[in-house]
Structure 1
Amino acid sequence: MKTSFNILLFVTFLLFCTEVQTEYPTEVKYWCGKPYIPKNKFFKNIQQLKRDINQCSKQATFDSTSKDSIGYHDTFSPSTIRLPPTREPIPFVPNLSNGYTATFRNQPYLSTDSIGSLVVTVTNTTSTIVVKASLDDGTEILAATRIKIEENAVEVPFSLANIAPKLKAYDVKISFYTKDDGILVHTTYSKLYHLPTGPKTVKIDRLYGGIFTSTNETIFPVGPYVDVGGWLAKGNIRANLQTLKDLNYNIISPDPPYPNISFIHQMFQAADEIGGIYIQYSFRHEYTNTQKVFDQVNQFKNYSSLLTWYIADEPDGEQWTNASAVFEAYEVIKRVDPYHPAALVLNCQHSAAFYADSTDILSTDVYPVGINTFHSTEYSGVCGCDNCVGNFSLDIPKRTQKYMIDLDLIGRGLIVKWMVLQAFFDQNSWWERAPTFQEIRAMWYISIIYGYKGLMFWRFPFILEHSTRDQITNLSKRIKDLSDYMLSMLQLSPSHIIISPDWNIYAGGWISEDQKTFLLIVVNDNKEFFINFRITIKDLISLGLLYGVDKTDCGKESQVFIENGIFEGNLKAYEIGIFIFGKMKPIMETCV
């Protein structure tokens, strides 16, 4: 199948640990391609086994020039993936995009839509380039168009008039040329859905990151995974869903198994009646059974409260890069219901590129609080938070940066990404303590700064302090209010924001299309230190003086300024700064 990386060649380099591949007992399990010892398993030579496993379970390294490699076929689809003969490969991701990425913005388009838009990023130049697009039959949908590249995403509109609506996606060829002599520099492919109008439809904004629901809301998804058997299915379903909405959640991911089909219908019906609470329907235990996937998509696809189909939960954990069933389930879902997006969550640091073509929304979960990376009663330090060091201000950026590097290399950097965060502890396994509210809040905002457009967390009902639960409710409300800004403005490239000093200070910026409004979020992730900081925003240097409101402390707003792109401020330990700027002097209003 043609995709933006239809010539994708994953080269797999084997870890240089021969005992892992040939001599470990069957009781030794693997997670993210690395071995661990399940609890309650006993071996004759347990100390030697532990030493061998732990040696191979640290940050894996490989030599990109190694001759010991196994390649995949050039067409990246489940039927043609040639898997390596070992459980411990690290995928080497080649540069297929050459810095050029393109996708379509508010998909799927409907027959009532007249205009579409192509979103383009180019990271290897800051000059003007020419882009054009055509269907696989040669029909031109975007004539040669000059666009100016400054590392941020650029939107290019085009007419849908010559694209006949149908249920199957079009393969679109997107070509990039030099502006002066018209030399072709890169070609990529992307899927375009132009569907007949009728069924309930959920669209993805691949420029700003929002989700357009079938009830015409634009949302930044915030909500928990919910225990079905232990909570949601007990008592009155409608009352339970109303409780979740009252806690300021706009999405839930019910964690199966479900009691029965009747319960699922009641759940959707109640959510439809309430409104504003959307459901991510999970196939996490059944995605390998494509007939069940087919039947259930057909049964539930017409509910207004359906937001996404959740294909799998951490398929890369046990299966590593051997989960071809994920691709098969995705193909079934898109064939039966191209009107809703599919989603999945990954747990491993090196797996994003492998699974990027099996989902519309790519999530990852990072659970770093309270872990012991040297010893675990169950996981020997390799499960649950792959390659984590137990510091979320390091672990979230590290996972994200690896994902972004790999996704950019294969031309999928514009895929919408959600983060699943920790709101639990489990002293019987790996997580010795629960995160504090300050840690939860910092994790949420650091994730937003790193470009995640949805926040979910494991899981409800929370095993947390009562005060922490209350504060999560307030935090969810604040994120919802901020989403009015974040989902209507372009998030700036991290390279456009320079922080000094940058010691545990994180900052993200969003700017409106007319450059009249700017949102700045700053996190001081120092647990003990008050920090003075200076931030330079490249996009604002030419705009002169901007007036702003410091909304860090609700009820105590104050005026702030950006002059010639420079903002100076300070934050207390673990404090989150929220600043909104414009060309006019601000009116003090209710804190967001």
Structure 2
Amino acid sequence: MKFLCFISFSLLLFTTISLSSTNFQTTKYFDAVKYWCGKPYIPKNYLFKNVKQLKLSINQCSKEERFDPKKQIKTNYTATFPSETPPTIKFPQTCEPVPLVPDLSDGYTAMFRNQPYLSTDLIGSLIVTLTNTISTISVKALLHDETEILVKTKIKNEGTSIELPFSLAKIKSNLEAHEVKILFYNEDILVHITYAKLYLLPIGPKTVKIDRLYGGILTSTNEKIFPVGPYVDIGGWLEKGNIQTNLQILKDQNFNIITPDPPYPNISFIHQMFQAADAIGGIYIQFSFRHDYVDIQKVINQVIQFKNYSSLLTWYIADEPDGEKWTNSSAVFEAYEAIKSVDPYHPVTLTLNCKYSSAFYADATDILGTDVYPVGVSMSNCTEYSDVCGCDDCIGSVSLDIPKRTQQYVKDLTLIGRESNLKWMALQAFYDQNSWWERAPTPQEIRVMWYISIIYGYKSLMLWRFPFFLDQSVIDQIIDLSKVIKDLSNYILFIPQLSISHIVVSPANDIFVGIWMAKNQPNFLLIVVNGNDNHSVNFKITIKDLICFDLLHGVGKIDNEKNIEVIIKDGVFEGNLAIYSVGTFIFKKDLINRAHMSCYDT
């Protein structure tokens, strides 16, 4: 939910200060029922005057939406209004409109890695993820004309994604995607069929690919990056002064991507922006259609004009379309199809705002983003008639709201067979006392949200928005973290992340852990976050895969402290983290104990 307008920030701040210095208050009414994430919504500090219309609207919403029968129904809600309205209003029984996601995958997910493929490519690979209990499965893939591109191949279900290479020789290149049928067998019994789009394109001027195995995105120069950067205010900053100088400022702050936030002043400015990014190199543009995605012809015209720039990374269809449109924004799907028909060489992205909408937009994007803004929000502002308070279904916790949103997204995406969808996170780097966010994040909160997002599988971190109206200490923290991610991405984007089923953490409620390791890699990465905002935590992490080792050594770093020697013994790592602290540790396998290496390699 983005209501912030930096152009008028000084005016808003002045108004806030002026009002707070007097006792003058005016009752503000909202004249029409609006909805956000499918729930009745009124902006902060407003009241609803037409209670009869409100009740009718809530009832109508209840009739139109599909509800989860297990969801607890809210009853006997009482709200207090000013004296000119009845003192108490009892609303009819209502409940949050949670759309039901059908289970279409049966525990089988299949998507293609590092596509679009080009006509010069020889090998492709299918990424298969199994979440059911069958131990051994065979997989086969066919084109629409029944041409077999992957012979029946037996794989073992180990709870991780499996890569199956195949030849592209039998596939004809064209600009349209091939619909590939993927069949799963238990012994010789067909147990599931799913479909995936495969792009094998003629050689194009610029191509950007998605790694659906480890995450990350391959730029037009074939460099795999972890995109980090802000949404940028165009009129308030980017178009002022020299565009190339401004972009260089952002690159010098360790950002490698920006999302310019429309409206754009003119077409000439857009070309200058891309030309400047091309000249600088290493900073990429996520081109946003923002509010224009409903104008399909305008979308097509812009794609044609800008698709050949080296600095173009992705097409950004829409920002929070699920807010007002909930799960019914057909314009998003139309825009996606239009973009892919004109330019299948670049991925399409969008950002969602609501907890239960991911499955409904999964096929309208190549990369699924979300934004979780929990700092400074108060759930006491939520009521039956204003049930979204800046962060959908949040509790106002920097350490719990991101996992909560992510777990719901992963659950719903898995049900429809889209578990391998790349996920990007937009983090809160603002405050707006005139809306829901009473204060800005602290440096510690930025750090916790940053690393928890990485641990929960997000492969890009965006920030709303630049220029940052934050304390310098917070800005410095963002810049420092953006620099650190370049080093950590050598592990995060090239080594599989260990499943949580292989890790035992104590205390589980406070400590968040991510481990990136592989049998053929000499080093592995461990990230530990203390999400407790009250006290330091003594933690114990048991890594099951390392029980066979007697000892591993590593050099770790906790926050901004000096490097310290750390040891894992018998697969157990123990330590202490202060409030909202993060430890990053790179461990080297103990080559002295070679006799034990076979234990891990088998």
Q: What's the TM-score once normalised by structure 1's chain length?
A: 0.86
For residues 135-150 of structure 1, the aligned pairs below 5 Å read: 135-150=143-158
Equivalents in 2 of 1:560, 1:202: separation in Å?
Answer: 39
CA contact (8 A) 1:133 1:141 kept: yes
Equivalents in 2 of 1:446, 1:25: separation in Å?
Answer: 37
Alignment of 1:117 onto 2:125: yes
From 337, 351, 354, the counterpart of 1:345? 351
Residue type at the aligned position of 1:425: Y
Deviates more, 1:311-320 or 1:565-574: 565-574
Aligned to 1:373: 379
Change (3 A) 1:169 1:26: farther
Aligned to 2:599: none
Matched residue of 2:220: which SS? coil
Aligned to 2:395: 389
Deviation sequence 1:59-93 (CA, Å, 0-9, x none): x9731699xxxxxxxxxxxxxxxxxxx99742101
Equivalents in 2 of 1:128, 1:314: separation in Å?
Answer: 40
CA contact (8 A) 2:39 2:387 kept: no
Deviation sequence 1:508-562 (CA, Å, 0-9, x none): 1111351432211110011232211111223333455332221335672233233
Change (3 A) 1:401 1:334: same
Deviation sequence 1:131-171 (CA, Å, 0-9, x none): 11111111111111122221111111111111111111111
Identity among equivalent positions (%) equals 69
Residue type at the aligned position of 1:160: L
Equivalents in 1 of 2:282, 2:48: separation in Å?
Answer: 53
Aligned to 2:219: 213
CA contact (8 A) 1:489 1:513 kept: no
Residue type at the aligned position of 1:277: I
- Note the C-alpha offset of 1:361: 0.3
Deviates more, 1:463-472 or 1:327-336: 463-472
CA contact (8 A) 2:137 2:156 kept: yes
Aligned to 1:98: 106
Deviation sequence 1:485-514 (CA, Å, 0-9, x none): 111101122222220111211001111351
Change (3 A) 1:64 1:286: same
- Note the C-alpha offset of 1:322: 1.7
Aligned to 2:173: 165
Residue type at the aligned position of 1:210: G
Alignment of 1:233 onto 2:236: no
For residues 242-321 of structure 1, the aligned pairs below 5 Å read: 242-321=248-327
- Note the C-alpha offset of 1:345: 0.2
- Note the C-alpha offset of 1:565: 2.9
Residue type at the aligned position of 1:523: V
Alignment of 1:30 onto 2:17: no
CA contact (8 A) 1:27 1:38 kept: no
Matched residue of 1:281: which SS? strand
CA contact (8 A) 1:418 1:455 kept: yes
CA contact (8 A) 2:68 2:99 kept: no
Deviation sequence 1:469-499 (CA, Å, 0-9, x none): 1121111101121111111101122222220
- Note the C-alpha offset of 1:176: 1.2
Aligned to 2:159: 151
- Note the C-alpha offset of 1:287: 0.3
Change (3 A) 1:216 1:229: same
From 399, 407, 417, the counterpart of 2:423? 417
Change (3 A) 1:481 1:336: same
CA contact (8 A) 2:229 2:258 kept: yes
From 469, 477, 492, the counterpart of 1:471? 477
Change (3 A) 1:536 1:274: same
From 200, 221, 226, the counterpart of 2:206? 200
Equivalents in 1 of 2:496, 2:520: separation in Å?
Answer: 11
For residues 546-557 of structure 1, the aligned pairs below 5 Å read: 546-553=552-559, 556-557=562-563
Deviates more, 1:439-448 or 1:181-190: 181-190
Deviates more, 1:284-293 or 1:140-149: 140-149
Equivalents in 2 of 1:498, 1:172: separation in Å?
Answer: 39
Residue type at the aligned position of 1:494: I
- Note the C-alpha offset of 1:185: 1.6
Change (3 A) 1:281 1:37: same
Equivalents in 2 of 1:351, 1:65: separation in Å?
Answer: 16
From 488, 498, 523, the counterpart of 1:492? 498
Residue type at the aligned position of 1:538: K
Change (3 A) 1:437 1:161: same
Structure 2 gap segments, 5+ residues each = 1-28, 73-93, 593-602
Alignment of 1:134 onto 2:146: no
Aligned-pair RMSD on alpha carbons? 2.7
Structure 1 gap segments, 5+ residues each = 1-23, 67-85, 587-592
Residue type at the aligned position of 2:166: F
Deviation sequence 1:215-259 (CA, Å, 0-9, x none): 222100111000000000111000000000000000000000000
Equivalents in 2 of 1:564, 1:425: separation in Å?
Answer: 46
Matched residue of 2:207: which SS? coil
CA contact (8 A) 1:488 1:512 kept: no
Deviation sequence 1:285-334 (CA, Å, 0-9, x none): 10001000100000000000000000000000000012000000000010
CA contact (8 A) 1:376 1:429 kept: no
Deviation sequence 1:3-31 (CA, Å, 0-9, x none): xxxxxxxxxxxxxxxxxxxxx99711100
Equivalents in 1 of 2:49, 2:445: separation in Å?
Answer: 42
CA contact (8 A) 2:551 2:590 kept: no
CA contact (8 A) 2:44 2:435 kept: no
- Note the C-alpha offset of 1:453: 0.5
Equivalents in 2 of 1:573, 1:250: separation in Å?
Answer: 30
- Note the C-alpha offset of 1:42: 6.3
Matched residue of 1:92: which SS? coil
From 101, 116, 119, the counterpart of 1:108? 116
Change (3 A) 1:25 1:439: closer
Change (3 A) 1:584 1:565: closer
Residue type at the aligned position of 2:168: L
CA contact (8 A) 2:67 2:100 kept: no
Residue type at the aligned position of 1:31: W
Equivalents in 2 of 1:368, 1:41: separation in Å?
Answer: 21
- Note the C-alpha offset of 1:381: 4.7
Change (3 A) 1:37 1:351: same
Equivalents in 1 of 2:582, 2:518: separation in Å?
Answer: 22
Change (3 A) 1:544 1:413: farther
- Note the C-alpha offset of 1:95: 1.1
Equivalents in 2 of 1:106, 1:518: separation in Å?
Answer: 24
Change (3 A) 1:25 1:459: closer
Change (3 A) 1:237 1:182: same
Task: Report the structure number with the largest CA radius of gyration.
Answer: 2
Equivalents in 1 of 2:556, 2:45: separation in Å?
Answer: 54
Deviates more, 1:407-416 or 1:550-559: 550-559
Residue type at the aligned position of 1:206: R
Matched residue of 1:490: which SS? coil
CA contact (8 A) 2:129 2:160 kept: yes
Change (3 A) 1:34 1:142: same
Q: State the aligned residue count.
A: 538
Deviates more, 1:491-500 or 1:321-330: 491-500
Equivalents in 2 of 1:265, 1:43: separation in Å?
Answer: 46
CA contact (8 A) 2:31 2:49 kept: no
Aligned to 2:342: 336
